[in-house]
Amino acid sequence: MNVRGWGVGKFEDVCKELREWRFDLVGLTETHLRDDVRMEGCEYVMIGKGRKAQGTLGGGVALLYKKERGLKVEIDVGECTSSEDVLAVRVECMDGRGRPEKVVLVVAYMTVMGERAERENRRKYDILKKVVREHGGKRVLIMGDMNAHVGILGEQVNRNGEMLGEFVDELELENLNVTLAEGRVTWSAREQESAIDYMLVNGRMREIVSHMWIDEDGLVDIVSDHNMLVVIFSSERGHSVWMWMQGVTGGLSPAAKCARCVTWERMRRWNMWCWSV
């Protein structure tokens, strides 16, 4: 979620909505928080990091995870300590045979276009490359606000989009927005639409991914002008939901609430609930 600022009130409101949808893990970008971050509510824990107090404003990445799933979470694995806008987390849970299964989740935020932004983003992509290569034998999922136009909506590819494409090709990743997602628009405001937020997976992670859904109708009420991206992966025992969300918006209209009921039933057919993997 590109939350454009974060606090206790927003944390509680978002957790309430996540509880209703029964999501397990949530990636956050642009929290605007400083240094290392940890917040704990009744059902969710938030871990992350932000820019240093003397640094530039903005940025900050984090992960929310549900307590009751009994997940073992290790923060800042790999080469991420040198960037406040890249967070890699190793999550360990149990598979259907009671064996530990490790998944590496990476949350990233790329700076909006500009000469300085390109230098910063190249450095961030170098960090991402090291993380993916270091964990090449594990399941890796990268989610983030890449501020990248890759042509999904017929738009011109920008420099951030070119860098994203180069990264995907070099590391042999799959861009699920292109190959799997139901929906395309990840941001909408002021009568404009865009696709700038992405889910990327390596080959091992792709083996267990079953669905991806972009919440173009804003059914998940998370106070956001970016749309929720949801990825579902399966195991021998069931399914777990991984999601990432963005921005600032208001409540649901009656029509949206009706559509939400339809979507809820569709999610039930997908078994889109958070059982242990």
* Residues facing 81 on adjacent strands: none
The reported pLDDT for the residue numbered 221 is 73
Low-confidence ranges of the chain (pLDDT < 70): 1-10, 52-58, 76-82, 94-96, 222-223, 235-277
Would you kindly state where each structural domain of the chain is located, as residue ranges?
8-269
The reported pLDDT for the residue numbered 182 is 95
The reported pLDDT for the residue numbered 262 is 47
The reported pLDDT for the residue numbered 6 is 52
The reported pLDDT for the residue numbered 270 is 42
According to CATH, what is the number of the domain 8-269? 3.60.10.10
Q: Give the neighbor-by-neighbor strand order of the sheet with 197-201.
A: 72-75, 86-94, 100-109, 139-145, 197-201, 174-175
The reported pLDDT for the residue numbered 56 is 64
The reported pLDDT for the residue numbered 251 is 39
CA distance 263 to 179: 21
**How many DSSP H helices and E strands does the chain contain?**
6, 15
Q: What is the pTM of this model?
A: 0.82
CA distance 68 to 71: 8
